[in-house]
C-alpha cells in the first residue's frame, strides 16, 4: 500500500480552502477535497487515517538554524529560565555535583536580571571549583567562561578577552571550540537529537548556517550524511557555508575543499555581531554605551568581492547583518558587485541576508532592486522588542521602534522567509508566526497567513528549491506535511477592519490555528517526501516511500 487517505479533519490548501481530506500516493499528494468525495475515493487499496478534527498543513521550514549547537543546547543548562544571576550560579553548582565533564549552559540574558551583569570567572570557579565552564549568552555572540576553561584555551591572550571571564570575537570562538570537542559519534548523536526535536515541532527542513567560526567542516559533513540517509528518515538539511571569497577561483577551490555540497557561501558570514552583546554595527553609538558602535567583521571590499565572485558563478551569497551601519555595507557592496558583473547576475544568484533587523526605506528598496531575500526571526521582536525591553535599552526608543521591519519588507516586495536562529530562540514555528502577527510595532504586523507562508513555501524558495510545488498541499505536490491537534481554526489578520470579511466562507480563505488561545498547536505527526519523521504515541502514520508497515508510537 502506497496510498494513504487522511479524512475527517481540515487541510490547509490553496487548491481547496475548505478541504477536509487528502490522499497521498507514495511521496506525492494525489488529491485534496471534501468528505463526500473522500467517501467515494476510499477503497481497500488505501490505508485510511481518521484525523478526528486534526489539521494538516505543509511542513515548516526553519530558514536559519545551527543544528549542532541546538543539539548541545538541548543537553546543557537552560539559563533562559533564570530570573537572577544567583539562580544561574546555583544551576552551575548543581551541575557540578552530578556531572564530571565540562559544564555547558546557554540562554542567559543579563538584561533581565536585577544584577544587570553576567557571572564572572571567579563566581563560576566558586560554583564549580576547578571545572571548565562555558555559558553562552542568549544571542550566542558572547559567553562567560570559568578561569579553568580560560587557562586551558589561553583565552586571556586573545582578542575579545574582556576580563572577568566575558569573551567575544576571537576569544569567544576559541572558547566555543575548546568547550565543543566532540568525537564523531557524539557529534552525530547531538545532531540527531536536534533534528528529532525539529521533526517533533512540525519542521520538515532546516537551513543550516554553518561557518568556520561556528562549527567545523566535519560538523557539516556529518549533518549532510544524516540528512541524506536512506536508512533513517530525517528532517532535510539545507546546507550553507559562511566563508568569504575574493574571486571565482577562490570560491571554486573552497567548494571543492569543503567536500560537502552546499547551497551557497552564505548564512552566518558575519558583517557584524548582535545588539544584546553590543557588537551589531551601528551608525550612532549604543544608547547605554556611549562611544560604542559595535564590531565590523568584514569591510566593504570583502563584501563586494564576495558578492561579485558568487554572482559570477550563479551561487548564493549572504551575510549576517543586524546593525544599520552593517546594512549600509551590504547595500554598497551589492551596488559595487552589480557594477562589476552586471545587475542581472546579482539578481539571478538569489543572494540572502540573515536577520536584517535595522533597515531604513532606502536599504529596503536596494534589497528589492537586487532581488535579495531576507531571512528574519520574528521571535527576536517578541523577546526583546517593546517598551522597556532590551532593544529600547540598547538603542533608545526611536531606533528600537523601527527594528525588524517585517511588514515594510513585504510592502516593498523583498522576498522574506522565517527562521528561529536556534538555539537562540526555540524550535517553535507557531510562536514565530504569532510574533509576526503581534509585532510590538503595529505598523510592522502581518497576517498569520503571510507569516505561515514565510515559514513554509518561502523557506523553500529562499533555498532555491527546484520543485515549485514544495511547501504546498495540492495535487502533484511533494507529501511534506504535519498533522496538528488544534483548539480552534480561524483567519487572523493584522488589520482588524478586514477580519470579518476574511472569515466569511465566501472568501475561501484557508484557516489556520487560532494563536490567541492558551495552548499552541501540538504536532501529532510529521511526514517529509512521504517518509514518516515523527508520530506521537498512539498516532498511526506510514512510511510510503520505504514501504514499511504502518507504525504506531513516538519516533
Q: What band does 495 get if pLDDT is binned at 50, 70 and 90?
A: low
Q: Are residues 445 and 479 in the same domain?
A: no
Q: Where is pLDDT greater, at 314 or 498?
A: 314
pLDDT for res 115: 93
* Last residue in a domain, options 155, 179, 203: 179
Which tens digit of pLDDT belongs to each residue from 390-441?
999 999 999 999 999 999 999 999 999 999 999 999 999 999 999 999 999 9
Q: Are residues 247 and 363 in the same domain?
A: yes
Indicate whether 457 belongs to any domain: yes
Averaged pLDDT of the chain: 92
Q: Are residues 76 and 19 in the same domain?
A: no
Q: What band does 540 get if pLDDT is binned at 50, 70 and 90?
A: low
Indicate whether 508 belongs to any domain: no
Residue 99 has pLDDT above 80, yes or no: no
Indicate whether 512 belongs to any domain: no
CATH number at residue 394: 3.20.20.140
Q: Are residues 347 and 311 in the same domain?
A: yes
CATH number at residue 155: 3.10.310.70
Q: Are residues 333 and 445 in the same domain?
A: yes
Which tens digit of pLDDT belongs to each residue from 501-526?
455 555 667 889 999 888 899 999 99
* Last residue in a domain, options 179, 211, 239: 179
Structural domain total, the chain = 3
Domain that holds residue 79: 68-179
Q: Are residues 294 and 375 in the same domain?
A: yes
Q: Alpha-carbon distance 483 to 535, whole Å?
A: 9
Q: Are residues 51 and 136 in the same domain?
A: no
Q: Which residues pair with 352 in a beta bridge?
A: 318, 373
Indicate whether 491 belongs to any domain: no
| Cell numbers linked to 232 | 533513517
* Last residue in a domain, options 163, 179, 195: 179
CATH number at residue 532: 2.30.40.10
% of the chain exceeding 90 in pLDDT: 83
Q: Are residues 81 and 48 in the same domain?
A: no
pTM for this predicted structure: 0.91
| Cell numbers linked to 14 | 490553496
Q: Are residues 220 and 244 in the same domain?
A: yes
In this structure, the strands spanning 236-241 and 203-210 are parallel
Q: Alpha-carbon distance 370 to 516, whole Å?
A: 37
Taking the CA atoms of residue 475, residue 479, residue 485 and residue 486 in that order, the dihedral angle to the nearest 10 degrees is -40
Amino acid at each position: 500500500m502506497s496510498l494513504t487517505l487522511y479524512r475527517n479533519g481540515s487541510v490547509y490548501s490553496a487548491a481547496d480552502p475548505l478541504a477536509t481530506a487528502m490522499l497521498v500516493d507514495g511521496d506525492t499528494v494525489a488529491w485534496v477535497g471534501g468528505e463526500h468525495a473522500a467517501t467515494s475515493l476510499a477503497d481497500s487499496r488505501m490505508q485510511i487515517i481518521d484525523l478526528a478534527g486534526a489539521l494538516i498543513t505543509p511542513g515548516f521550514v526553519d530558514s536559519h538554524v545551527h543544528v549542532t549547537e541546538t543539539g548541545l543546547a538541548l543537553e546543557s543548562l537552560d539559563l533562559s529560565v533564570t530570573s537572577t544571576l544567583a539562580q544561574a550560579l546555583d544551576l552551575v553548582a548543581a551541575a557540578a555535583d552530578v556531572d564530571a565533564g565540562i559544564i555547558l549552559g546557554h540562554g542567559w540574558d543579563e538584561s533581565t536580571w536585577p544584577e544587570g551583569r553576567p557571572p564572572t570567572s571567579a563566581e563560576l570557579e566558586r560554583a564549580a571549583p576547578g571545572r571548565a565552564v562555558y555559558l553562552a549568552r542568549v544571542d550566542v555572540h558572547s559567553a562567560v567562561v570559568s578561569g579553568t576553561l580560560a587557562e586551558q584555551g589561553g583565552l586571556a591572550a586573545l582578542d575579545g578577552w574582556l576580563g572577568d571571564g566575558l569573551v567575544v570575537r576571537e576569544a569567544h570562538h576559541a572558547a566555543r571550540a575548546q568547550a565543543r570537542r566532540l568525537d564523531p559519534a557524539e557529534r552525530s548523536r547531538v545532531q540527531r537529537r536536534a533534528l528529532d526535536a525539529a521533526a517533533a515541532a512540525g519542521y520538515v527542513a532546516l537551513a543550516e548556517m554553518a561557518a568556520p567560526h561556528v562549527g567545523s567542516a566535519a560538523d557539516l559533513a556529518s549533518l549532510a550524511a544524516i540528512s541524506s540517509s536512506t536508512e533513517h528518515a530525517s528532517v532535510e538539511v539545507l546546507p550553507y557555508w559562511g566563508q568569504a571569497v575574493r574571486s571565482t577561483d577562490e570560491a571554486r577551490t573552497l567548494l571543492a575543499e569543503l567536500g560537502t555540497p552546499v547551497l551557497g557561501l552564505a548564512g552566518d558570514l558575519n558583517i557584524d555581531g548582535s545588539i544584546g552583546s553590543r557588537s551589531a554595527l551601528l551608525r550612532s553609538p549604543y544608547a547605554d554605551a556611549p562611544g560604542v558602535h559595535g564590531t565590523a567583521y568584514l569591510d566593504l571590499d570583502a563584501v563586494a568581492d564576495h558578492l561579485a565572485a558568487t554572482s559570477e558563478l550563479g551561487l548564493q551569497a549572504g551575510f549576517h547583518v543586524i546593525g544599520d551601519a552593517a546594512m549600509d555595507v551590504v547595500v554598497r557592496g551589492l551596488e559595487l558587485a552589480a557594477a562589476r558583473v552586471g545587475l542581472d547576475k546579482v539578481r539571478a544568484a538569489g543572494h540572502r541576508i540573515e536577520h536584517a533587523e535595522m533597515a531604513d526605506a532606502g536599504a529596503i528598496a536596494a534589497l528589492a532592486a537586487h532581488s535579495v531575500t531576507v531571512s528574519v526571526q520574528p521571535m527576536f521582536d517578541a523577546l526583546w522588542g517593546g517598551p522597556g525591553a532590551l532593544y529600547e535599552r540598547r538603542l533608545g526608543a526611536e531606533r528600537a521602534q523601527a527594528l525588524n521591519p517585517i511588514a515594510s519588507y513585504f510592502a516593498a516586495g523583498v522576498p522574506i522567509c522565517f527562521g528561529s536562529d536556534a538555539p537562540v530562540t526555540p524550535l517553535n514555528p507557531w510562536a514565530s508566526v504569532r510574533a509576526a502577527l503581534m509585532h510590538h510595532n503595529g505598523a510592522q504586523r502581518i497576517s498569520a497567513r503571510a507569516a505561515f507562508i514565510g515559514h513554509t513555501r518561502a523557506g523553500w524558495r529562499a533555498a532555491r528549491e527546484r520543485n515549485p510545488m514544495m511547501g504546498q498541499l495540492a495535487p502533484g505536490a511533494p507529501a511534506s506535511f504535519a498533522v496538528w491537534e488544534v483548539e480552534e481554526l480561524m483567519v487572523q489578520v493584522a488589520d482588524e477592519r478586514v477580519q470579518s470579511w476574511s472569515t466569511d466562507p465566501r472568501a475561501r480563505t484557508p484557516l489556520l490555528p487560532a494563536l490567541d488561545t492558551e495552548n499552541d498547536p501540538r504536532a501529532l505527526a510529521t511526514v517529509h517526501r512521504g517518509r514518516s519523521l515523527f508520530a506521537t504515541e498512539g498516532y498511526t502514520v506510514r512510511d510510503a516511500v520505504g514501504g514499511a508497515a504502518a507504525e504506531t508510537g513516538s519516533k
